Structure 1
Amino acid sequence: MKHFFCFVLIALTGSAFAQKSKTSGNPIFEGWYADPEGIIFDEEYWVYPTYSDAYEKQVFMDAFSSKDLIKWKKHEHIIDTAAVKWANKAMWAPAIIKKDDKYFLFFAANDIQNDNEEGGIGIGVADKPEGPYKDYLGKPLLDKFHNGAQPIDQFVFKDKDGQYYMIYGGWRHCNIVKLKDDFTGFEPYDDGSIFKEITPESYVEGPFMFIKDGKYYFMWSEGGWGGPDYKVAYGIADSPFGPFERIGVVLQQDPKVATGAGHHSMIHVPGKDEWYIVYHRRPLTETHHNHRATCIDKVEFDENGYIKPVKITFEGVEKNKID
């Protein structure tokens, strides 16, 4: 009960601050949520997070939408284990992509520890970003370990040529696979392989990739997700296959603001040099590993294209409607 009142106090304080300063405030919405995927659909911001609780209670996912980054609308239970018969716990780290007027929600489930357990990475499909999502394949898209990578923390990346890739992996290994056009499986590379490892130095989990000025930026989480040392680092390459040499840390805790800042995504406002990082962190009042809240802050680049270290804030970001 004490933790509940602390969280309500923080949420109310953030809300009051946001109203006064016309910023989003951090966290951007109430509740324990982690691993957020931020994206823009039809001139509206969307965030798809993990529901942060005990594995056995992670049986659904909510989504949040906003037209201005200030006011957020909650869309409850956009997918759950009732719709995905093979999933029974630990629904994690949604990745969302729109293709051919359909919305595909990639997720991990069951936290499998070996190739003999049921679970892995699956896909939900819907006609609207808020769902409801139904099981696209009726089975996992990926349910085995390859190159040591646990099948979790998937991110779907569309390259400049229109090819879709899935970048994924826990247990300190990261793979990139070429998705079939209908997302029903994987296409082999020219050398006949399917799973290419692109693991950079200090990688743990939470991959994310984007293109800026013709360069491929690869970002990942380091440290332990339940501890204060969780953080985000990055590298840059000329190809989605790397090699990605670790450049440095761009997101980490601030003992005056919050701990455990990590597992992020990036939002780029179309047609503008405006970038945001959406991530989770642990309020200073909390020590429980699942007490994680979703936040947003600005991202800036220097004259050489390197990402400037992000300052995590209580204020969040200013109002920004998409033209």
Structure 2
Amino acid sequence: MMKFFKKLAPAVALALCFGIGGCGDTSFSVKLGYNDGTLPNEDGTLFYREYDESLFYRNDLTLKKVADPSVIYVEEGEYAGKLFLYGTSNTLSVRGIGVWQSDDGVHWDSYGVAFEPETASWGYSSLWAPEVIYDGAGKYYMTYSARNSNTIAAGGKYYGNTYIGLAVSDSPAGPFVQWTGTNADGAEIGLGDPIFDPAKITAVDGVACEAGHYARYRFLDSSLFADGDELYMYFSRGKDRYNVLTPGDDYAYGKETSEIWGVKMKDFSTPDYSTVTRLTKVGYNTVDGETEADYNDIDRERASADQINEAPQMYKRDGVYYLTYSVGGTTSNFYSVAQALGSSPLGPFTKLSKADGGLVLGTEMNWIQAAGTGHHSFTPIGDELFIFHHEGADRYTIDSENRAIAYDRAGMAENSKGQKVLAANGPTSYSLQPLPAAISGYKNIAPEAEVSVSGLKEGSDKKWLTDGFFASHLTGVVGETEFDAGTTAEISLRWKEYRTVGALLLYNSIDYDKTFYRIARISLSVRTASGATGTAVADNAAFPFDETTNYSSQQLMFAGSNLVLDFNDIEVNGITITFRAPRSEGSVAVGDICVLGK
């Protein structure tokens, strides 16, 4: 990480002592010295410049040939304050699960192989999609998917199919070992046995089925979810490995599908097979298939030859269960994260339209900065929530052999129906974003300010300025604050007390036609260490269009495009932002304001 990033500060002390009313004057105005958070490249290029790593991160996609990330933030013990990532690893030829450690979510150090099955294990090849959960009592449990290519294990009972396994470790760094022993049902689980045996499914949704019927299907992409004292496992019920459609199972558009199922667990190693429940139906909002799902004008669930709902994760907030999952094929540019809402861990769940927040994270047509942003991991870091995901390492296409890891902020937003839904600030690419507050020590204090505006467009709302979200799509639950064109607009933020502030980020509109070109003036009400008060002013701060514009389609900007002012800490109790909207018609929009402070 960069140790010596030079910042610029207001020359407050000099201004007081050399010519602004003399040292006895308690009111002053000085020029605010700042930079944009980056250092120029020697070759003059704009992208991937060095930046202030004490406050910001940028998704430079440095961790490549890794996919399907599971990320945990360790809060106690030897690795407190560290991030650990587990993923499908091409460098291990998918015969083992890799583990990496990071302090900031961008720069990752390999800790080698977290889990590699013994040669007698049932799951000896195609190890995919690990998910790690901490039990709060010193144990880390990893579920994973693997293909049984071992004809010897369990007498070849599970040969040739994909199943779910369980491994355990005393450390987030590993090593993990395959769980074996006697489960809660009294069954002996050996190296030759997966933790979930589909042959034992005798009913789905409470409807009986022939014993062994689902043994021919693939089961993968599992994740565990603790709901108080109860434990659940979610997974993708994949396709029939023989590719033979069974009447009643080819749900969507005459094609075989992959869908999300769930089961209650008696403990980490014992599924309660009587509770197996189908949670999604591809292409439809509910499993009853009455209403077709519609995320946008490109139906992401039908964007691939494969009809897929996969990689589920559960999140709970205020009694609502948020089933999040990936839609479309993993090699599709439109591989995305979607959500469905329910009132219990096993549903029923209802998918949301894009307008209502159904699309949590995804790309748009003609984007050149991100592709295939799916298979996610929701990771709490301190008091904030983040979404880690993989995407195409070259940003333009998604290749199953070369994916990379990125992450963005997430949280709860409210849709027009009054529902609280998960939303993500991204996918971001070349723009700087604030580090997690638990890592940098600085949080966004803009939501704590009293906000006033002038020049607001009729029908617009100032609430979008400090809600902590910026719009990443033209349609969705996150809005922007619009100002009348041809006017001078002003935004004022005031805090009841002076706050220590180190940076300001102004997010532009996602809509190219509503972007602002420059900020006429940014004025900070400041206080010096001696108690003198005055203003620090920055004039004519230009927005960096060359680094933030999707030139292949100028309808949309890069998600998270912003103007950054980075300076040494100063005491601030107010910020006034003045900008002109030069267009003669339409409006100019601001996506969000972030003030990094303490």
Q: TM-score range by the shorter chain?
A: 0.7 to 0.9
CA RMSD of aligned residues (A): 2.9
1:125 to 164, 168, 183: 168
1:25 to 2:135 alignment: no
Amino acid at match of 1:124: A
| Residues 1:77 and 1:311: Cα distance change in structure 2 (over 3 Å) | same
Instruction: Report deviation, 1:109.
Output: 0.5
Aligned counterpart, 2:584: none
1:177 to 2:225 alignment: no
Amino acid at match of 1:38: V
Instruction: Report deviation, 1:229.
Output: 2.1
Instruction: Report deviation, 1:313.
Output: 1.2
Contact 1:14 1:25 in 2 (8 A): no
1:109 to 2:146 alignment: yes
| Residues 1:298 and 1:143: Cα distance change in structure 2 (over 3 Å) | same
- Counterparts of residues 34-183 of structure 1 (less than 5 Å): 34-42=67-75, 43-52=81-90, 57-82=93-118, 85-99=121-135, 100-110=137-147, 117=160, 119-137=162-180, 138=191, 139-144=193-198, 150-160=218-228, 162-171=229-238, 172-181=258-267, 183=268
Q: Distance in 2 between matches of 1:88 and 1:250?
A: 34
Instruction: Report deviation, 1:263.
Output: 0.8
Aligned counterpart, 2:275: 194
1:276 to 2:386 alignment: yes
Instruction: Report deviation, 1:84.
Output: 6.7
Q: Distance in 2 between matches of 1:84 and 1:174?
A: 30
Amino acid at match of 1:175: W
Amino acid at match of 1:196: T
Instruction: Report deviation, 1:130.
Output: 0.8
Q: Distance in 1 between matches of 2:58 and 2:138?
A: 33
Q: Distance in 1 between matches of 2:90 and 2:432?
A: 21
Query: Which sections of structure 2, spanning at least 5 residues, go unmatched?
Result: 1-45, 76-80, 150-156, 181-190, 205-213, 239-257, 284-307, 353-357, 442-598
Contact 1:14 1:27 in 2 (8 A): no
SS in 1 for 2:351: coil
Contact 1:268 1:276 in 2 (8 A): yes
Listed one character per residue, the Cα deviations across residues 93-114 of structure 1 (whole Å, up to 9, x for unaligned) are 11111223111111110179x9
SS in 2 for 1:153: strand
Aligned counterpart, 1:243: 348
Q: Distance in 2 between matches of 1:276 and 1:245?
A: 23
| Residues 1:23 and 1:49: Cα distance change in structure 2 (over 3 Å) | farther
Contact 2:162 2:218 in 1 (8 A): no
Instruction: Report deviation, 1:28.
Output: 5.1
Where relative contact order (Cα < 8 A, 6+ residues apart) is larger, the structure is 1
Amino acid at match of 2:269: T
Listed one character per residue, the Cα deviations across residues 24-80 of structure 1 (whole Å, up to 9, x for unaligned) are 322454221111112222243222211147xx9211111222334354332111112
SS in 1 for 2:218: coil
Query: Which sections of structure 1, spanning at least 5 residues, go unmatched?
Result: 1-12
Amino acid at match of 2:360: V
Residues matched between the structures, number: 300
Q: Distance in 2 between matches of 1:111 and 1:170?
A: 16
Q: Report percent identity of matched pairs.
A: 25
With structure 1 as the length reference, what TM-score do the two structures score? 0.82
Q: Distance in 1 between matches of 2:47 and 2:224?
A: 32
Amino acid at match of 2:413: D
Amino acid at match of 2:310: E
Q: Distance in 2 between matches of 1:199 and 1:168?
A: 11
Contact 1:37 1:49 in 2 (8 A): yes
Instruction: Report deviation, 1:206.
Output: 0.7
Listed one character per residue, the Cα deviations across residues 208-248 of structure 1 (whole Å, up to 9, x for unaligned) are 10111221111111111112121111011111111111112
Amino acid at match of 2:138: D
Contact 2:409 2:424 in 1 (8 A): no
Q: Distance in 1 between matches of 2:379 and 2:312?
A: 15
| Residues 1:293 and 1:265: Cα distance change in structure 2 (over 3 Å) | same
Amino acid at match of 1:186: P
Aligned counterpart, 2:402: 291
Q: Distance in 2 between matches of 1:197 and 1:14?
A: 45
Aligned counterpart, 2:188: none
SS in 2 for 1:306: strand
